[in-house]
Amino acid sequence: MVETSIFPADTDHVITTRQVNFFYGETQALFDITMDIPGRRVTAFIGPSGCGKSTFLRIFNRMNDTITGTRLEGEVRINGENIYENGSNVVRLRRKVGMVFQKSNPFPKSIFDNVAYGPRIHGTKDRQELAEIVEKSLIRSALWDEVKDRLDTNAIGLSGGQQQRLCIARALAVGPDILLMDEPASALDPKSTIRIEDLIGELRNDYTIVIVTHNMQQAARISDYTAFFYEGSLVEFNATKKIFTKPREKQTEDYITGRFG
């Protein structure tokens, strides 16, 4: 079990997991993972491909439920609520836990309609209210100045980096508390990657952010805490500075220094 003493005494743990095991059919993908994730901080998951970090990330909004034959054992709580308890409201959960994927996936609609989509689904119909939500979300995602004069144009025409920031705006529009990001910059050029990293730095003050990244330099730059996964197990979890300068586990050190992985 990871010791919670790695956190300041007054830390608010927004996400907690206890002895989580996860299965794809008969294949076990995660083994006995216990972790506390602090609020309004950036937590990065690192590790080689296939180590379980994306599977673990998707547990927090029950995205794995869409895959036939999956099964979870253990306990996952968000703000104290067991999100896998019978009768848990998955729609409400996914509103509070937004997701940004590796590949930007704007809808083939206008920029405005992309951002307004979630609020509309959740019952917001008033055009003025929608316009305010869209503007606020695009400002928060650092995209407003670039698109404010063409909100009615198709979002597919945006650049890759702009599309990813649009997807972040779309996630923000429904008022989440938590943002999950699965390799959000891996398909982007260096300039766009810097914009996404800067944006994460700005959003950390208002959201709990959990990011999966293969880029260890990125994890070191943007995260407050880092978890290292290997073969479905949590090897080490600590403040990012400690993970990258003085890891407790030799396996972590070997991965950080490029000896394996």
For 146-172, how does the pLDDT look when each residue is reduced to its tens digit (9 = 90+)? 999 999 999 999 999 999 999 999 999
> Is the pLDDT confidence value at 6 over 90?
no
**Quick one: pLDDT band at residue 5, thresholds 50, 70, 90?**
low
**59 closest CA partner among 26, 37, 87:** 37
Average pLDDT, the chain: 95
Q: Are 27 and 70 in contact (CB under 8 A)?
A: no
- The DSSP bridge partners found for residue 80 are none
pLDDT at 206: 96
**226 closest CA partner among 193, 205, 255, 202:** 255
Please give the radius of gyration of the chain, using alpha carbons only, rounded to the nearest integer.
18
Q: What is the mean pLDDT of residues 119-144?
A: 97
* C-alpha count within 13 angstroms, C-beta hemisphere, residue 175: 9
Q: What is the mean pLDDT of residues 193-201?
A: 96
Q: Report d(CA 28, CA 141) in Å as an integer.
A: 37
> Is the pLDDT confidence value at 39 over 90?
yes
> Is the pLDDT confidence value at 36 over 80?
yes
Q: Comparing 7 with 181, which gets the higher pLDDT?
A: 181
**Quick one: pLDDT band at residue 2, thresholds 50, 70, 90?**
very low
pLDDT at 261: 56
- The DSSP bridge partners found for residue 44 are 211, 226
- The DSSP bridge partners found for residue 128 are none
Q: Name the burial class of residue 246, with classes exposed (0-12), middle (13-18) and buried (19+) by CB atoms within 10 angstroms of its CB.
A: exposed
pLDDT at 259: 82
Q: Report d(CA 104, CA 108) in Å as an integer.
A: 12
Q: Report d(CA 225, CA 3) in Å as an integer.
A: 13
Q: Comparing 21 with 7, which gets the higher pLDDT?
A: 21
**Quick one: pLDDT band at residue 174, thresholds 50, 70, 90?**
very high
Q: Name the burial class of residue 127, with classes exposed (0-12), middle (13-18) and buried (19+) by CB atoms within 10 angstroms of its CB.
A: exposed
> Is the pLDDT confidence value at 4 over 50?
no
Q: Give the pTM.
A: 0.94
Q: What is the mean pLDDT of residues 138-146?
A: 97
Place of tokens 């996860």: 22
